[in-house]
Amino acid sequence: DAGITQSPRYKITETGRQVTLMCHQTWSHSYMFWYRQDLGHGLRLIYYSAAADITDKGEVPDGYVVSRSKTENFPLTLESATRSQTSVYFCASSESTFVRVTEAFFGQGTRLTVV
């Protein structure tokens, strides 16, 4: 199906474990983003990518790692999960005009609980 899909939708993990959240888009959008949503903080940008093999830190990158070997995939890894990383994670993709990024299209989110 066309669009942007995240997996898993729900995940419970233990403190200290590594966990990877997957994101796949079928539009061939050049830009991809990872956000986390927490009550009172809105959506905060974790990492973003302008193209395959190009990634950059957002507002809250500590404790996360990303890679983008293919345009359509943008996995997010929590190297050693902490309780403060309990959140809802959203992946998004976007195209750009000549000068700036246009609207983002969002996946359905992954609800991660770290116990």
Partner 1 sequence: AQSVTQLDSQVPVFEEAPVELRCNYSSSVSVYLFWYVQYPNQGLQLLLKYLSGSTLVKSINGFEAEFNKSQTSFHLRKPSVHISDTAEYFCAVGGDDKIIFGKGTRLHILP
Tell me how far, at minimum, the Cβ of 15 lies from partner 1, in Å.
Answer: 26
- Binds partner 1 by CB under 8 A, chosen from 33, 34, 64, 74: 33
- Binds partner 1 by CB under 8 A, chosen from 7, 13, 27, 50: 50
Enumerate residues 6+ apart whose C-beta is below 8 A from 46: 34, 35, 36, 58, 59, 60, 61, 64, 66, 76, 89
Choices 17-25, 32-40, 62-70, 72-80 (CB under 8 A): range interacting with partner 1 = 32-40
Question: What DSSP line would sit under 49-107, residue for residue?
Answer: EEETTEEEE-S--TTEEE--SSTTB--EEESS--GGG-EEEEEEEEEE-SSSEEEEEE-
Asked if 101 interacts with partner 1 (CB under 8 A), we say yes
Sheet holding 64-66, edge to edge: 4-7, 19-25, 76-78, 64-66
- Binds partner 1 by CB under 8 A, chosen from 42, 69, 83, 115: 42
Asked if 26 interacts with partner 1 (CB under 8 A), we say no
Query: By CB under 8 A, how many residues form the interface with partner 1?
Result: 30
Select 2 or 14, whichever has its Cβ closest to partner 1: 2
Select 27 or 106, whichever has its Cβ closest to partner 1: 106
Q: Cβ(59)–Cβ(41) under 8 Å?
A: no
Asked if 34 interacts with partner 1 (CB under 8 A), we say no
